[in-house]
């Protein structure tokens, strides 16, 4: 499913549209894999985390698996309804699609306070760029930061505190990629069925289905 998360530092109104209980501190648009990842995927993640730990990088599994389509920004409370309307209008013509990922990469946030193990998208890039274009139009409308010009779309798998990019790239990432490439019956490919966009703000989630 396609997802757009958002958050605000203020309490949300009671008349907002469909919600869930997840609280995000900051707003971002994302693509989510599945609420219940397959057993094969979870077994691979356990192997990857064990390998990383043996090489000095203790990683924590992500609570949910997503693919960001915007930078993190702070919203004013009274922007939530017009931003929701803008996003809905922008993506209503976008069609569902299948996205796949299979190449591991190491990422670090701008503040260099967290390192992430991600799986980079290998198919579906054009459709993701179309969605980013629509999200960026909403960002621009509200004078917020747009997404990166040359994004590396990826599903974040795990993270650790601090900047361990050098350590993981030197002696760890190649070994973990071998686990992906030689997984059981062949290379493991993560498939994401992108069927809706979500916009999360505080503890509320707005859902925008993509066209069949």
Q: Indicate if the pLDDT at residue 108 is higher than 70.
A: yes
Sketch the domain layout of the chain as residue ranges. 2-47+64-106+118-155+190-209
pLDDT of 207 reads 87
Comparing 30-39, 155-164, 177-186, the range with the smallest average pLDDT is: 30-39
Q: What is the pLDDT of residues 10-44, one digit of tens each?
A: 434 333 333 333 333 333 445 444 455 688 999 99
Q: Percent of the chain beyond pLDDT 70? A: 83
pLDDT tens for 93-102 read 999 999 999 9
Tell me, yes or no, if 125 is annotated catalytic: no
Q: Which of 66, 77, 78, 143 is catalytic?
A: 66
Overall average pLDDT of the 163-192 stretch: 91
Domain 2-47+64-106+118-155+190-209 architecture: Alpha-Beta Complex (3.90)
Mean pLDDT over 130-138 rounds to 95
Let me know if 154 is a catalytic residue.
yes
Distance of CA 66 to the CA centre of its chain: 3
**Average pLDDT of the segment spanning 178-189:** 91
Give the Cα separation of 23 and 29 in Å (integer). 14
What pLDDT, on the 0 to 100 scale, is given for residue 133? 96
Q: List the one residue out of 181, 95, 158 whose CA is nearest residue 130.
A: 95
Q: What is the pLDDT of residue 33?
A: 44
Quick check: pTM over 0.75?
yes
* Banded pLDDT at 74 (limits 50, 70, 90): confident
pLDDT reported for residue 27: 39
* Choice among 55, 77, 154, 183 that is catalytic: 154
Mean pLDDT in residue range 48-67: 93
């Amino acid at each position: 499913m396609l997802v757009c998360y958002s958050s605000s530092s203020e309490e949300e109104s009671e008349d907002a549209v469909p919600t869930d209980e997840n609280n995000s501190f900051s707003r971002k648009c994302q693509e989510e894999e599945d609420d219940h990842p397959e057993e094969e995927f979870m077994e691979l993640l356990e192997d990857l985390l064990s390998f990383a730990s043996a090489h000095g990088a203790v990683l924590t599994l992500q609570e949910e698996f997503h693919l960001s389509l915007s930078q993190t920004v702070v919203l004013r409370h009274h922007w939530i309804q017009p931003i929701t309307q803008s996003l809905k209008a922008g993506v209503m013509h976008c069609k569902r699609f299948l996205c796949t990922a299979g190449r591991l990469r190491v990422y670090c946030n701008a503040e260099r306070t967290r390192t992430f193990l991600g799986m980079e998208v290998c198919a579906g890039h054009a459709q993701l760029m179309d969605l980013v274009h629509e999200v960026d139009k909403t960002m621009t409308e509200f004078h917020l930061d747009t997404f990166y010009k040359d994004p590396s779309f990826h599903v974040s798998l795990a993270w650790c505190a601090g900047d361990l990019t050098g350590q993981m790239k030197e002696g760890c990432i190649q070994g973990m990629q071998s686990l992906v490439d030689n997984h059981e019956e062949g290379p493991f490919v993560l498939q994401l069925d992108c069927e809706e966009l979500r916009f999360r703000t505080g503890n509320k989630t707005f859902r925008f289905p993509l066209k069949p």
